[in-house]
Structure 1
Amino acid sequence: MLDQLRPVANRALRPFVSASTTLGLTPNAVSIIAFVLAGGAGVAFYVAPGAPVWYLVGAVLVFLNGWLDILDGALARELGTDSPAGDLLDHVLDRYADIILIVGFAAGLGRFALGLAAVTGVLMTSYLGTQAQAVGLDRVYGGLLGRADRLALIGIVGALAAFVQSVGGYSLVVLLLALFAVVGHITALQRFYYSWRALS
């Protein structure tokens, strides 16, 4: 749902695009920095059950990752360097970042089966979004839970988990993973249905 706010985010990014240009950063460099931050967040989430303050550290890194994830595209358009190669790099790093974040949460709690269900839901959502483009449609960002929504939820839950680990006897992180597992697959099916109808 938050993916629909990309035009608003792009306007807010203008000062950061200018700063990145001044610093000589390339879009690919920004994509790589965003991925490194996601890796740091995944590690923080993994160790956080033993020291919950790391959930907060991970949350901050996730928000920075999300911000850079939209900055790289805006910077590429500003510099006129947007290309299929850059788009490929961005998507590959985004998928690995998604995996690292979810695995960090799940492995930290030893909830591997739930983590598997969550990560497959997330990956199928992203796959259906780009597969629509591969078969001649526009890239699909719709559905209940796009990447922007996931990053926002990971950041919010991470920040909350630093202070409150459970609600009603249920771990906040486990609830988040369950949400990704269920709603991720629902979103993937929504995107499949939209694409199927458009092609039929």
Structure 2
Amino acid sequence: MLENLVAWLTGNLSPSARIWTALGPAILACVYFLGGLLIFCIRVAFKGVPRDEETLKRGNAGFVGYFLRHYFFWVIQPLWAVILRSGLPANALSMLSGLLGISSGVAVAAGRFALGGWLFLAAGILDVMDGRIARTRKEANPAGAALDSVLDRYVDSAMLMGLAWYYRDTWVLLPALGALLGSSLVPYVRAKGEGLGVNVRDGAMQRLERVLFLGAGTALSPILEAVFWPEEKHPMHWMAVVGLVFVAIMSNLTAISRFRNLVKALAPKRQEARSEKAIVSLNAAAGAIATVADFAVVLALVEWMGLLPAWATVLGALLGAVVNYSINRVLTFRSTAAVGRQMMRYAVVSGTSALLNAGGVALLTLHPQLAYTLGWWLVRGVVYFAWNLPLQRDYVFNDTNSSDALMEQRPHAA
């Protein structure tokens, strides 16, 4: 018995022990939560969904919707009641959550994924409870809210830094860093919106979803490794990898969606003769057609003529600019402004776009493990949405900002 305990603490586990350290807590959790879900569904059938007001305030999510959130807070009521009666301060729960979360990062960095995953899930459950405890006791205050928020960022960052350290010599380092970025931006955009008077709480990957997908994937990953790759000294932990990649993608999409909604809510309203959706769709189609022509030129110049990808990108961008301008002027924006000034503005946008694309491709080709074609598409997508689309809409083809329109708006001299 003592030998097994020492082996568990030091991580010197047999394949079967690795399975049970991951599966043991999972079995207990599944028995409790699945049994609770059955009872919850029966209760809902007779009495309806027991609504949790705080859940309703946090906004809906794509993966863990209102029904599952109400269920989760209903099923943990016994644990919540025990903690409430214990008299533990809410700040103590926040600190304990922070300690467990930071410990989870240390554990996964050392390769103890089952331990790290369960610690991370436990930290998430405690984080859910601390604020509720404070509000129930009427002890909530700004200091406690600040402590909770900052510790949440430390917990998320510690877990993701631990995973990044473990995967530092593999490609998984990139999604680990991406998840770290997205997990930081999602709450930041919400806080920025609240500071500006705009509520941006919705999104498919909020903190509860991040804790569930990342924690469960990490905690259960040793099972597959022990079954299929029992002799690996540094296993990949593929369930953790899947969860990490998923969190990296969806957290950044959530941050971008919140950021877009925030800017849209704060930006001055424009009166458009046509719907914004139609303009964006036609502009995207024009960009796609121009991009196909551009990419065909890049492939021909690089593959057949041996030109460097950066220079091929410049020439391809020039051809794409001509195609894009023609389609957007005639079909997308139906502009009637003077062609000369408009072409000068378009040349500015296209020239800077070509430089941005060429520079981005040149930077990415410094990493030979990344195919230049993939790098080309990545750079082109970023430049299009961050530079080309907004400037074409608001600067090049916006007839109300043209010099002729501005002259007409000025009062004539007597």
Are residue 15 (structure 1) and residue 82 (structure 2) matched?
no
Cα-to-partner distance string for 1:146-197 (whole Å, 9 max, x where unaligned): 111111011221123112249xx99443343333333222110111122233
Cα-to-partner distance string for 1:27-58 (whole Å, 9 max, x where unaligned): 1110110111111211111111xxxxx21112
Aligned to 2:100: 37
Task: Identify the range of structure 1 (33-42 vs 4-13) with the bigger mean alpha-carbon deviation.
Answer: 4-13
For 2:99 and 2:237, the matched residues in 1 are separated by 31
1:63-82 to structure 2, matched below 5 A, reads 63-82=121-140
For 2:152 and 2:237, the matched residues in 1 are separated by 29
Residue 16 of structure 1 contacts residue 71 of structure 1 at CA under 8 Å; is this kept in 2? no
Q: 2:167 aligns with which of 106, 109, 119?
A: 109
For 2:176 and 2:163, the matched residues in 1 are separated by 8
Q: 2:149 aligns with which of 66, 69, 91?
A: 91
Structure 1 residues 3 and 147: alpha-carbon distance in aligned structure 2, compared to 1, 3 A threshold: farther
Aligned to 1:51: none
- Compare relative contact order (CA 8 Å, sep 6+) and give the higher one, 1 or 2: 1
SS in 1 for 2:122: helix
Distance apart, 1:128 and its partner CA: 1.0
For 1:62 and 1:78, the matched residues in 2 are separated by 25
Distance apart, 1:86 and its partner CA: 1.1
Instruction: Count the aligned residue pairs.
Output: 193
Are residue 27 (structure 1) and residue 90 (structure 2) matched?
yes
Aligned to 1:118: 179
Aligned to 2:260: 193
Aligned to 2:300: none
For 2:139 and 2:69, the matched residues in 1 are separated by 19
| Bigger radius of gyration | 2
Structure 1 residues 178 and 13: alpha-carbon distance in aligned structure 2, compared to 1, 3 A threshold: closer
Distance apart, 1:68 and its partner CA: 0.6
Are residue 156 (structure 1) and residue 216 (structure 2) matched?
yes
Residue 37 of structure 1 contacts residue 62 of structure 1 at CA under 8 Å; is this kept in 2? yes
For 2:71 and 2:202, the matched residues in 1 are separated by 17
For 1:3 and 1:132, the matched residues in 2 are separated by 22
Residue 90 of structure 2 contacts residue 134 of structure 2 at CA under 8 Å; is this kept in 1? yes
Matched letter for residue 82 of structure 1: A
Structure 1 residues 6 and 74: alpha-carbon distance in aligned structure 2, compared to 1, 3 A threshold: farther
Distance apart, 1:85 and its partner CA: 1.3
Structure 1 residues 61 and 70: alpha-carbon distance in aligned structure 2, compared to 1, 3 A threshold: same
Structure 1 residues 183 and 78: alpha-carbon distance in aligned structure 2, compared to 1, 3 A threshold: same
Residue 186 of structure 2 contacts residue 258 of structure 2 at CA under 8 Å; is this kept in 1? yes
Matched letter for residue 192 of structure 1: F
Q: 2:244 aligns with which of 147, 171, 177?
A: 177
Give TM-score scaled by structure 1 length.
0.84
Structure 1 residues 7 and 129: alpha-carbon distance in aligned structure 2, compared to 1, 3 A threshold: farther
For 1:6 and 1:129, the matched residues in 2 are separated by 20
For 1:126 and 1:163, the matched residues in 2 are separated by 32
Gaps of 5+ in 1: 49-53
For 1:3 and 1:125, the matched residues in 2 are separated by 18
For 1:149 and 1:196, the matched residues in 2 are separated by 25
Gaps of 5+ in 2: 1-60, 229-235, 268-414
Residue 37 of structure 1 contacts residue 64 of structure 1 at CA under 8 Å; is this kept in 2? yes
For 2:143 and 2:246, the matched residues in 1 are separated by 33
For 1:76 and 1:135, the matched residues in 2 are separated by 26
Distance apart, 1:17 and its partner CA: 3.4
Distance apart, 1:11 and its partner CA: 3.6
For 2:83 and 2:153, the matched residues in 1 are separated by 24
Give TM-score scaled by structure 2 length.
0.43
For 1:3 and 1:102, the matched residues in 2 are separated by 25
Matched letter for residue 162 of structure 2: G
Structure 1 residues 176 and 9: alpha-carbon distance in aligned structure 2, compared to 1, 3 A threshold: closer
Structure 1 residues 89 and 145: alpha-carbon distance in aligned structure 2, compared to 1, 3 A threshold: same
Cα-to-partner distance string for 1:110-135 (whole Å, 9 max, x where unaligned): 15444322211110112112221111
